[in-house]
Structure 1
């Protein structure tokens, strides 16, 4: 499984790089703040909403600490999706939130 640090993701955003971020935390967690532009698909719904994702794109998976996003990354990889787990999750995020 590919991984990227929160700082690396923040650098990509600050450089204006177009990236697709999927936040797998629960709705109430995301309401407290998420990475700008991130799409919320709670981990329990990934299986039912993965058809919304494009296999030709690369997705960065995010959660609170990196565990749930790691599970989501492994699951999606098993179906042929190109995903990267953001290690440390939102606990490591120092960038802007919305």
Structure 2
């Protein structure tokens, strides 16, 4: 029982640490803030291709999180990166990967694509 309590506390500490560390390199933007800047940036949809085809923000490129390491060559570290996924968890993981690779200007759409009310394109 004591081990279980220690394990739970350790998991909480790691989660809190990650949350605060992430705040140093990832800026979470409201839809309005996101709209104001994404046209001057690299707009990346990190969802899988079948999700992207069903609908995505106009002008977005699809680089799924599962392929991001292999496709980093397609992205410029000197330009802002605006990320989104369906709800926010995959884009947060993508931001973590980009931060480790030296990207510093990283933004995320709060609530993800499911909260987006702007123009979309679907195949």
Per the TM superposition, whether the score is higher than 0.5 is yes
Runs of 5+ in structure 2 lacking a partner?
Answer: 1-25
- Could you list the structure 1 runs, at least 4 aligned residues long, displaced by more than 3 angstroms after superposition: none
Runs of 5+ in structure 1 lacking a partner?
Answer: none
Alignment equivalent of 1:90, drawn from 113, 117, 120: 113
Q: 1 or 2, which has the higher helix percentage?
A: 2
Greater C-alpha Rg: 2
**Superposition RMSD in Å:** 1.4
- TM-score between both structures, scaled by the size of structure 2: 0.71
Asked if the contact 2:42–2:75 (Cα under 8 Å) also holds between the matched residues in 1, the reply is no
3-state SS, counterpart of residue 94 of structure 2: helix
2:27 maps to 1:2: yes
Counterpart of 1:76 in structure 2 is 98
- How many residues are paired up? 95
- TM-score between both structures, scaled by the size of structure 1: 0.88
Structure with more contact order per residue of length (Cα contacts < 8 Å, sep ≥ 6): 1
